[in-house]
Structure formats: structure tokens, C-alpha cells
Amino acid sequence: MHEKDIHEKNLESYRNGTPHNTAKSGDIARIVLMPGDPLRAKRIADTMLDNVFQFNAVRNMFGYTGEYEGCRISVMGSGMGAPSMGIYSYELFAFYDVQAIIRIGTCGGLAPEVEVGDLVIAMTASTDSNYAHQYRLHGSFSPCASFDLLEKAVASARARGLQFHVGNVFSSDLFSLYSALPPDEGWKRWARMGCKATDMECFALYCNAAWANRKALTLLTCSDSNISRKEMTPEARQNSLDSMIRIALDVAKQESAAE
């Protein structure tokens, strides 16, 4: 069966929900914020959005739709790693007509200038994952952010006076602290190539956006530094990322107004 036929068959089958998402057609806004942690999605919905309703709780991957300063926005967890982000973002793009996804998460700093608490805006993503092998490309694919979303995020960060960095991030299948590779063979080589930070989801999101011809952006707060070894507490990771989230909401509001 041709891939287009498979997509059309799935689209019809999943009109009233997928195996991972109980949302019905129209429940999800065209712009979605995606933290890795579903509890962070719940906190955003509870404290930053108005007129909120929950559209998903399958596998505790909470999803909500509400309004931010009059603009309809959804927020949903992605889980950890490329496979989880790959599933949820693919479904949002393919079956729910989502036009833009903004990942909001944490990262490990790989550059000495990236300090704990700083914002990293991912211009592009490198990886050790084979996620892009599915496209059967005769070479290496370098997915990047949607420039207009990136431009809006930079403007918002500047207006808010935040310390931020724009550049390449390294999306790994391995949580860097648990890697069997010694640093000289692992993250230090990616840092040597100019990667600002490491996460686990950005590459898959940017690939899915490229495949679907949709928009994507990744905003990351540095929660720990591979250079200084400083780190945030688990509580701070969940609750103290408001500046980054406000930038994502600024971008989402502008993108919604432009549609």
C-alpha cells in the first residue's frame, strides 16, 4: 500500500482518537506547546491558560486546550526521547491538523557560556539516533527550526531581558549522565562541534515537522551543565521554568494572530 493511502486510512480511523490520544477532531488548537513532562503541561494549563478543558489522559500523557490572552492554544506532554516525541508530534501534525509545535523542555549545557537557568533556542539539531533513517535518504538530514518562530522567540527573549543562546543542540538517545561512553568519546565531541546543549527530543520533532511540512521550535532551559556540573533540583525543573514558557506563549500568540 502506498504511504499516502496508509495515511488516508489512518486519518479516517483516527478521526475520533488515536491509540495514544482521545482528542476528537477540533479539540486541539492549531498551535501546541509540548513540555516533556505531562505534569508541566498540567501546571501550564492550570496557571497560565483560561477556559481550559482536558482532551487526553491516555498513559497519563495529559493534554489541554485553553486560551492565552484570547488566543486558542493547546499544551500536551511529549514524554522522554525521540520515540515518544515522534509518536505524539506525528499524530498532532498528521491527524489533528496542528500547524506548529513548540517544544519547551530542559537541557544539559555543553558550552561554557551556557549557564544553569539560561535559555537555549535550538536553531538546528544533531543526533546519535537513527530516527531519520525512516526517510531512506542517501545522506544525513539536518533538521532545523522554523525561522519565523525562532525569530519571534529571539525578539521575546530580548524584550524580556533574558540570557539566551541560539545554536545547534545535540539530541541523544542516551541521557548523557548514564552513557557508557567516557566524556571524551561522548558529549565532549559534540561540544567540540559547537553544540550548545543536549536534549533527547528536538531532532525527532524537527524531523516530523519537516516531513509534515509544518512548523516547529524548541526552547530549552539549561537545568544542568556538563561543564560546571551545577544542576537544578527536580522541583525547579518542574516549577521554575516560567520565563521560557512565557516566551513560548508569546510566540504562540503571535503565530495564532498571523493565521
Is-catalytic flag, 37? Answer: no
The catalytic position among 118, 199, 224, 250 is: 224
Secondary structure class of 31 (helix, strand, coil): strand
Grid coordinates in use for 196?
A: 550548545
Q: Are strands 197-199 and 164-171 parallel, antiparallel or unpaired?
A: parallel
Q: For residues 71 and 20, give the distance between their C-alpha atoms in angstroms, rounded to a whole number.
A: 26
Q: For residues 12 and 78, give the distance between their C-alpha atoms in angstroms, rounded to a whole number.
A: 23
DSSP state of 109: E
Secondary structure class of 188 (helix, strand, coil): helix
Grid coordinates in use for 94?
A: 498528521
78: left (phi over 0), alpha (psi -120 to 50) or beta: alpha
Spatial contact of 26 and 44, defined as CB atoms under 8 Å apart: no
Going by C-alpha positions, the residue among 176, 166, 183, 204 that lies closest to residue 79 is 204
Q: For residues 91 and 36, give the distance between their C-alpha atoms in angstroms, rounded to a whole number.
A: 16
Q: For residues 209 and 218, give the distance between their C-alpha atoms in angstroms, rounded to a whole number.
A: 12
Q: For residues 213 and 103, give the distance between their C-alpha atoms in angstroms, rounded to a whole number.
A: 17
What amino acid positions are annotated as catalytic residues?
224
